[in-house]
Structure 1
Amino acid sequence: MKLATLNIGRDGELLVVSKDLTRAVRATDIAATLQQAIENWDSLAPKLDARYAQLNEGKAEGAFDLDQSALHSPLPRSYHWADGSAYLNHVKLVRQARNAEMPDTFWTDPLMYQGGGDSFLAPTEDIEAVSEEHGIDFEGEIAVITDDVPMNVTPEQAAGHIKLIMLVNDVSLRGLIPGELAKGFGFFQAKPASSFSPICVTPDELGDAWQEGKVHLPLTVHFNGEKFGEPQAGPDMIFSFPQLVAHAAKTRYLGAGAIVGSGTVSNPDPDGGPGKPVADGGVGYSCLAEIRMVEKILHDEVKTSFMRFGDRVRIEMFDGDGNNIFGTIDQRVVEYKPKA
């Protein structure tokens, strides 16, 4: 099943979207919003799935052509947005940027921070930034949405609480991160609003690509119209989504609609190297910080700048037949100007 949120009002209106992303139908008679649907998932999911089947068969009353630009992030806001860092190649490279060692515990205990869930960006909404000097970066990731998760669940139990999957652009301000981490209290100003793919899907929509709580497909990232990365999301994900959800719920309940992210998708070279750009025959990257570190490692010189006003990023994922699964995150960076 594929769901989306029409960008109307603060929490939007729930839509069911066809498998090929061309058609949609309102589902507000079942649940007004995705948040309401996820809070009552056991009783409402079968009704939404029946509507999904009708839509794909061309029998859904009130169906219309889908315009992805009219969609918000599936959850325009969330009670809980926690982002992990399950791809340790990314962690290793970014820590090199700060001349910081990677402790051995990183291989056994996931990194995770709690982001701001009060207001997400729409997937085609401009990214407003105060200053280019803040080191504006995109981060291509995957995230899951859970129902109510009890405290101290095991990963095996957590797997049953994962109801929906989507993509993320977890915007980072790299220039602010070192100073914040030096205080010993984590990210805050360095993590502005994130955006999510216009479509979220149930795990069964991924077929064999959903295995062991991971998405085994490449994540495609374009930067200013050029392919920037196509790393595989499955093999180098050290902690699965069930492990990440269990980590987030170790000492607290997660309310329905909690979002848990994977962290930046990242692959090393097959020979263990830091990864090559697409232009050099590699799979590239899902953020600018990585290519900057690889340039430093390989050439002792950083050539790539962080995002400038007017730069654009596009994040997508395609199945084995080339079909877009989650729709497209397509965002431009603009200078923040206070509204009158």
Structure 2
Amino acid sequence: MKLCLFTPLERPVRGWVGAIEGDRVVHLAAQTLASFFTGGGSAREHDEYALEDVRLLAPVPRPPSVRDAYAFEEHIRNAARVTGRPGVPDEWYELPVFYFSNPAAIYGPDDEIPYPAGSEELDYELEVAAVIGVAGAVGGFTVMNDWSARDLQRKEMKIGLGPAKGKDFATSLGPIVVTPDELGDLRLEMVARVNGEERSRGNLGDMYHSWEAILERAAANTKLVPGDVIGSGGTFSSGRGRSLPTWPTGWSIRSPIRGRSGLLSCSRPSSLRATSCSTRLRERPRCSGTKRPPFR
């Protein structure tokens, strides 16, 4: 199934669970995507809408938790080069590590992202995220953009704790969550474009740590609950350590994933196999690092 959270364009933004079937969305009788999973992955159908007549939202707007893993070896090698670290530590090969991000700062496709105050080096990371279903298993996969304020992150990491404020201001998800049976082969081509210019490319099949290993580690001494989000970590070329332009409007990142049925795009819903995520930045705030820019 291709699942989503949507709102008809003529209605106030609310967020209904839906299943995408071709060029239409079927409204499902579930309060949230998590409740859909706990209900056995099926629900009574309500009305249906043309995709062009709805707005697709972040599929899990307030997840119970957000973890982000570090599963690509080339990503950690690149990070070591950029930061001057001595290379990949032996422990990385043993442990599928992750950090916790902010479930209160989730953004969906075409949402504006507030530029983090105090940062001059905004970056992004193209990722795939697993959304947890029942019994700690993967309910579906979606696209994730791990926004990163690299200058804030560098200072925090020198202390030996974090990342914190370098990451927790925004994470973009969605719009489509695709169940594992629908998605099939996970060797998916991942692409990020900035204003149409390709900036990152990778393949999900290059993950060193498997999803099974990541979930096992995440669930150790605790439990995963429906709606939890776990990111894969960035592909090798994600972000490349370059700061992004800070145009006040019209600036966007689009992160499609190519599956067996072709390129994923919000504008061509019939070809959706996983999801694509498009987001825009607000203008850089003209304030000091102690004053927060306005949120939505």
Give TM-score, length-normalised by structure 1: 0.74
- For the 8 Å contact 1:6–1:70, the answer to whether it is kept is yes
Question: 1:289-337, CA deviations, whole angstroms, 9 ceiling, x for partnerless residues?
Answer: 2xxxxxxxxxxxxxx5434234321101122341332343111222254
SS at match of 1:134: coil
Query: Which ranges of structure 2 fall in alignment gaps of 5 or more residues?
Result: 263-270, 286-292
In the TM superposition, residue 339 of structure 1 has moved relative to its aligned partner by: 6.6
The count of residues paired between Structure 1 and Structure 2 equals 273
Partner of 2:267: none
With the length of structure 2 as denominator, give the TM-score of the two structures: 0.84
Work out whether residues 72 and 233 of structure 2, in 8 Å CA contact, stay in contact via their aligned partners in 1. yes
Distance 1:107 1:76, change over 3 A: same
1:46 alignment partner, SS class: coil
What is the aligned partner in structure 2 of residue 275 from structure 1? Answer: none
**Given residue 36 of structure 1, which amino acid in structure 2 is its aligned partner?**
S
CA deviation digits over 1:59-88, x for unaligned, max 9? xx6321114871211100111110101001
Residue 309 of structure 1 is aligned with which of 243, 247, 252? 247
State the one-letter code of the partner of 1:319.
G
User: How far apart are the structure 2 equivalents of 1:162 and 1:327?
Assistant: 16
In the aligned structure 2, how far is the partner of 1:172 from the partner of 1:261? Answer: 14
Q: Does 1:216 align with 2:187?
A: yes
> Partner of 2:273 in structure 1?
325
C-alpha distance 256-98 of structure 1, shift in aligned 2 (>3 A):
same
Structure 1: 5+ residue stretches without partners: 52-60, 150-157, 210-214, 267-284, 290-303
SS at match of 1:308: coil
The answer on whether the counterparts of 1:198 and 1:328 sit within 8 Å (CA) in structure 2 is: yes
Secondary structure in 2 aligned to 1:96? helix
Q: Distance in 2 between matches of 1:80 and 1:136?
A: 23
Please say if 1:23 is aligned against 2:9. Answer: no
In 1, distance between residues paired with 2:220 and 2:295? 41
- 1:194 maps to 2:180: no
**Take 1:338 and 1:321, find their aligned partners in 2: how far apart are those partners?**
40
Distance (whole Å) between structure 1 residues aligned to residue 213 and residue 152 of structure 2: 29
Contact 1:11 1:33 (8 Å CA) reproduced: no
Which residue of structure 2 lines up, in the alignment, with residue 71 of structure 1? 56
Distance change (3 Å), C-alpha of 1:188 and 1:68: farther
Sort the Cα spacing of 1:176 and 1:119 in 2 relative to 1 into closer, same or farther, 3 A.
Answer: closer
Aligned partner of 2:240 among 284, 288, 303: 288
Q: CA deviation at 1:11?
A: 7.0
Equivalent residue letter for 1:265: T
Larger Rg over CA atoms: 1
Trace 1:1-340 onto structure 2 (pairs within 5 A): 1-7=1-7, 12-18=15-21, 20=22, 22-27=23-28, 30-38=29-37, 40-42=38-40, 45-47=41-43, 62-67=47-52, 70-101=55-86, 102-131=88-117, 133-149=119-135, 161-191=137-167, 192-207=169-184, 209=185, 215-234=186-205, 236-266=206-236, 285-289=237-241, 304-310=242-248, 311-322=251-262, 323-335=271-283, 336=285, 337-338=293-294
What are the superposed Cα offsets for residues 240-288 of structure 1, whole Å, 9 maximum, x if unpaired? 111111111112112221111100122xxxxxxxxxxxxxxxxxx2323
Please give the per-residue CA displacement for 1:194-225, whole angstroms capped at 9, x wherever unaligned: 01121101101122x1xxxxx20101211121
Q: SS of the residue aligned with 2:222?
A: coil
Q: The residue matched to 1:175 in structure 2 has which SS?
A: helix
- Contact kept? 1:288, 1:306, Cα under 8 Å: no
The residue number in structure 2 matching 1:279 is: none
Structure that is richer in strand per residue: 2
Where 2:17 maps in the other structure, the secondary structure is strand
CA distance in 2, matches of 1:133, 1:325: 35
